[in-house]
Amino acid sequence: MAKYFDVHPDNPQPRTISQIVQLIREDGLIAYPTDSCFGLGCRMGNKDGLDRIRSIRHLDDKHHFTLMCHDFAQLGQFVQINNALFRAVKASTPGPYTFILPATKEVPRRLLHPKKKTVGVRITAHTTAQAILAELGEPLVTSTLLLPGEVEPMTQAWEIKEALDHAVDAVVEGECGTEPTTVVDLSEGVPEILRVGAGDPGRFSD
């Protein structure tokens, strides 16, 4: 049965955040709110957590996982980003964008796209998610909480608790957006919009 964490939206309680992070470090899988919608999250080295995300969402091995990063400095450890793209990405973070970029050797192979060796990265503006990431000290491997056969992602913590009570280890309460992120593939050096979502795609269009 999943634990349910009630977190203050503006001032997340340090003790509660510590409990959530401890669970993540013990290879737990959480459902947590972001500025786009709820995500499923686990630490990078948690192979079982990745398998559980794939199982919950019915994902194949070509799915791009996303590293939810605390800040731009952390993001830069895990992806290669050239000077031409740096400014555009920096100007769009934090925010509801996911960027597909070539991964560095810091990223476990199982997280990479099998052919392209790329990974998704983003920085959320959500207060609770930021508090978890700051305490954790590393990115959260994240996937949008969109269940198989559904067209809308889940946005209510209590509904997630009911639906995934035995599939996740914790559900973190919180307000979130109602759209997934806008996904921009920058791996070839020229922006390609893969999904239009909460972020304005116009800034990456010619």
Q: Give the tens place of pLDDT for each residue, 142-170.
A: 999 999 998 888 889 999 999 999 999 99
Tell me what percent of the residues of the chain surpass a pLDDT of 70.
Answer: 100
Q: Give the tens place of pLDDT for each residue, 100-155.
A: 999 999 999 999 888 889 999 999 999 999 999 999 999 999 999 999 998 888 88
| Residue 23 CB-half CA count within 13 A | 22
Which residues, including other chains, have CB under 8 Å from residue 150's CB and lie 6 or more apart? none
pLDDT of res. 62: 76
Distance CA 151, CA 29 (A): 23
Would you mind telling me the total number of residues written for the chain in this entry? 206
Burial of 101: CB neighbours in 10 Å, binned 0-12, 13-18, 19+: buried
The structural domains of the chain, ordered by start, are 3-204 (3.90.870.10)
- Residue 52 host element (H or E): helix 47-57
Distance CA 146, CA 126 (A): 19
| Residue 55 CB-half CA count within 13 A | 11
Strand-by-strand arrangement of the 30-32 sheet: 3-5, 170-172, 30-32, 39-43, 140-144, 66-69, 118-123, 97-102, 182-185, 192-195
- Residue 66 scores a pLDDT above 70: yes
